[in-house]
Chains A and B, each alone.
Chain A
Amino acid sequence: MDQILQHALNGVVLGGTYALLGIGLTLIFGIMRVVNFTHGELYAFGAYLAYLFVALLHLDFFLSIALAALAGFALGALIELVLLRPLRSNDIDTVMLVMIGAWIALQNGEQFVWGGVAKLVPSPFAQEPLVIGPVSVAPLRLFVLGATLVLLVGFYWLIDRTRLGMAMRATFQDRDTAALMGIDVRGIYTLTFALGSALAAIAGALLGPIFLVNPTMGNLVGLKAFAIVILGGLGNITGATIGGFVLALVEEFGAGYLSSEYRDAFGFLVIIAVLALRPQGFFARKARVG
């Protein structure tokens, strides 16, 4: 029983960051129809920036995470303006090829700049785990969970309650009508991509101190983000949120009770299960944002 609670807690902590990743990816797909292969690299980018700011420049830990998110936002905006905007009229496959090229270039750029040796991001939290009844948890992980929950709530508020969110939802539903209503659709695209990228970068900056930072860390995470998005239905934000937690719990329990070597394969099994049973995603009633 204690084991189950412990696995559940670990799963929920991981699930928060998975949800952030999934939301970013599904938002970009839903609004822009872009299969974003750079998503995992933005995650790695965020983690490396956390390393740069905390370990090399000795900045404040919390400030570093915020800066990593801002840098992710900027890099996302740059990618959108340079690569995606000129290809707006091209089909989804062409854009996909460009994103694969960008992915390879970014990943090897990280390898080139940082080298292949994994980096450790120091955190100001005590190593001593907090023991809460039957379970124990590192304070850093509790902070990550709190931060992701705040971000998730903030993101829903942005989509649901603000004029910007309304403009994004309108663009998602019908780009042309949204443009006719005076929404700057091109601006929304840039903003969407930048926002999704910032979410990936902040997920990387949050998980960086928990795991080690290495150049290929984005690959697996990118694939998992795709699994989460398929699980929730492409373009479905609530689906991606739930999907993130579901995948993390499946991995955690799968690794605990079935096989820890195949921990990272469970995401793929989830994809297979979804496609075999409910191809439109488990949480899709109707595809819409928000």
Chain B
Amino acid sequence: MRARFGGLLFLALAATLPLWLRDPYFVAILTSTGIFIIAAISLNLLLGFTGQLSLGHAAFFGIGAYTSALLSLGFDVDIGLPSPVVVDPKPVWIAFFGAVVVSGLFGWLIGKLAFRVRGAYFVIVTISFAEVMRMVALNWVDLTEGPMALNNIPPLSVLWPGHGLTALVTKSQQYWLVLAVGVVCYFLVARMVRSRLGRALIALRENEPLARSVGVRVTHYLVVATVVSAAIAGAAGALYAHCVRIVDPDVFLFIYTVTMVIMVVTGGKGTLAGPVVGGLIFGLMPQALRGTAPPEVQWIIYGIGIILIVFFLPRGIVPAFADLARLRMPALRKPASLVR
């Protein structure tokens, strides 16, 4: 009850934020933080609920960004066929969902390949995949414009009360758009982990041989989780493309994946609120550190931060606070649920 009340309060605060916080810069920061929180939520589905670490999540994010940008801009590309492939500009929302589908397909491919074997393979495959995607974005200039980047990406538009079909270009509108997509993704993941699929994932995270022995189709579920996770990361990437309105090969940089991993691990992997809490901390911290520390020092702090969290708060902030609350109020003590 309490947690639900807290969640509603948080949501109400978040939804009305641009109305009482009239600082467009800060709203813009929160918008980009929100995009990363969505990506972190998708990573948490894999890392937190299946125990599989994807170090290539920036790849799914980047594929989403590029797909949505290219579909909405239109492109023509010569791939050795008699005539070049020409794609006319598509409506922006179709591009958005196209990005979700394409990212999901890549997730399926990577999952199918990597889960042929367990252990470190998934990590290594995903991390190399992201690196190759960056090379493709950099070198396939015909399609991606390479380092010149894709510019003038159209914004997403919705039916805005009183204004008809409106392009979302102001900081507040983009903020609400990201918040809305974020809430949808959050509840999608929440619904998933409480479903049959989620129980299967948790079972195999806890004890794979046992899960397999009672008939859980382990590999199948792992691949499904990877597809959903990649699709959500792709949605985050598409949001990024239409909010920032410029996409360059740097979206595939490893530091973005690391940012997502830090958010999930700090907040609490395997908890629904974890990526949100971790995301807010690490989305806002660079702003606090700006001016006081050069970027490489920030990254050193991040690196050491991961190590310290693993050593001293191995389950992350959210579970630690939940434990604290339970100790304080014995009435709330209840058996630990597997979906923490």
A268 within 8 Å of B by Cβ? yes
Known: A109-B300, A111-B296, A261-B139. A101 touches B127 (CB 8 A): no
Asked if A86 CB lies within 8 Å of chain B CBs, one says yes
Contact between B131 and A280 (Cβ–Cβ < 8 Å)? no
> Is there contact, CB below 8 Å, between B302 and A104?
yes
* Majority SS at the chain B contact face: helix
Which B residues are in CB contact (< 8 Å) with A102? 303, 307
Question: For the complex, what is the distance from the CA of A271 to the CA of B294, rounded to whole Å?
Answer: 36
Q: Tell me if B128 and A268 are in contact (CB < 8 A).
A: yes
Fill in one digit per residue for A254-290: 1 if any B CB lies within 8 Å of its CB, else 0: 0000000110110110011001100110000000000
CB contact list, B248-275 vs A, under 8 A: 254, 258, 261, 265
* Cα separation A96 to B258 with both chains bound (whole Å): 13
Q: A93-B53, A101-B307, A102-B303 are in contact. Are A108 and B117 (CB under 8 A)?
A: no
* Residues 86-124 (chain B) with a chain A CB within 8 angstroms: 113-114, 116-117, 119-121, 123-124
Contact between A227 and B128, CB atoms less than 8 A apart: yes
A178 beta carbon closer than 8 Å to chain B? no
CA gap between A97 and B123 in the complex, in Å: 11
Cross-interface CB contact of A280 among B117, B136, B307, B310, cutoff 8 Å = B117
| Complex-state Cα separation, A97 to B263, whole angstroms | 12
CB of A270 to closest CB in B, whole Å: 9
A223, B128: Cβ atoms closer than 8 Å:
yes
Partner of B116, one of A94, A264, A275: A275
A43 at the interface (CB under 8 A from B): no
The docked-state distance in angstroms from the alpha carbon of A29 to that of B305 is 24
A108 to B121, CA, bound (A): 26
Query: Does A138 sit at the interface, judged by CB under 8 A?
Result: no
In the complex, residue of chain A having the shortest beta-carbon distance to the beta carbon of B124: A226
Q: Is the CB of A262 within 8 A of B139?
A: yes
Q: B51: CB under 8 A from chain A? A: yes
A43 to nearest B CB, angstroms?
Answer: 16
Q: Which residues of B contact A280 (CB under 8 A)?
A: 117
> What count of chain A residues pass the 8 Å CB interface test?
43
Contacts of B124 in A (CB 8 A): 35, 223, 226-227, 230, 271
Report how many residues on chain B are interfacial, defined by Cβ distance under 8 Å.
Answer: 39
Interface string of B301-335 (1 = CB under 8 A from A): 01111110011001000000000000000000000
Q: Does B129 sit within 8 A of A, measured CB to CB?
A: yes
**A191 at interface (Cβ–Cβ under 8 A)?**
no
Given contact pairs A261-B139, A275-B116, A98 touches B128 in the complex (Cβ within 8 A): no
Nearest B residue (CB) for A259: B139
Other-chain contact of A98, B53, B131, B306 (Cβ < 8 Å): B306
Contact A223 B131 (CB under 8 A): yes
CB under 8 Å from chain A, chain B span 147-182: none
B26 within 8 A of A: no
The answer, yes or no, to whether B135 is at the interface (CB within 8 Å) is: yes
Let me know if A104 and B303 touch, CB within 8 A.
yes
Selected from B113, B127, B297, the residue in CB contact (under 8 A) with A112 is B297
Task: Answer whether residue B132 sits at the interface, using C-beta atoms and an 8 A cutoff.
Answer: yes
- B299 contacts the other chain (Cβ, under 8 Å)? yes
Q: How far is the CA of A106 from the CA of B300 in the complex (A)?
A: 7
Residues of A within 8 A of B258 (CB): 100, 104
A112-B294, A234-B120, A271-B128 known; A262+B135 contact, CB < 8 A: yes
Bound together, the chains give a CA A261 to CA B300 distance in angstroms of 31
Q: Which residues of A contact B307 (CB under 8 A)?
A: 83, 98, 101-102, 105
Is there a chain B Cβ closer than 8 Å to A164's Cβ? no
Interface: A103 (CB within 8 A): yes
Is B143 part of the contact surface with A, judged by Cβ < 8 Å? Answer: no
Task: Judge whether B132 and A279 touch: CB under 8 Å.
Answer: no
Is B119 a contact partner of A92 (Cβ separation < 8 A)?
yes
B34-88, CB < 8 A from A: 51, 53, 55
Closest to A104 in B: B303
Q: How far is the CA of A262 from the CA of B307 in the complex (A)?
A: 34
- In the complex, the answer to whether B310 meets A234 with C-beta atoms within 8 Å is no
Which A residues are CB-close (under 8 A) to B265? 97
Q: Is the CB of A101 within 8 A of B113?
A: no
Contact A264 B135 (CB under 8 A): yes
Contact B53 A104 (CB under 8 A): no
CB neighbours of B306 from chain A (8 A): 97-98, 100-101, 104
- Tell me if B284 counts as interface (CB < 8 A to partner A): no
Interface residues of A in 184-238 (CB under 8 A from B): 219-220, 223, 226-227, 230, 234
| B53→A108 contact, CB < 8 A | no
**In the complex the two chains form, is A97's CB within 8 Å of B121's CB?**
no
In the complex the two chains form, what is the Cα distance from A90 to B315 in whole Å? 13
User: Sorted from nearest, which 10 A-B pairs have the closest CB atoms?
Assistant: A105-B303, A101-B306, A104-B303, A108-B299, A101-B307, A268-B128, A108-B296, A261-B139, A111-B296, A279-B117
Q: List 11 A-B contacts (CB under 8 A).
A: A35-B123, A97-B261, A100-B55, A103-B303, A104-B303, A219-B254, A234-B120, A267-B128, A268-B128, A275-B114, A279-B117
- Given A93-B51, A264-B131, 13 new contacts (CB under 8 A): A29-B120, A90-B314, A98-B307, A101-B302, A101-B307, A103-B303, A104-B258, A105-B300, A107-B299, A219-B131, A265-B131, A272-B125, A275-B116
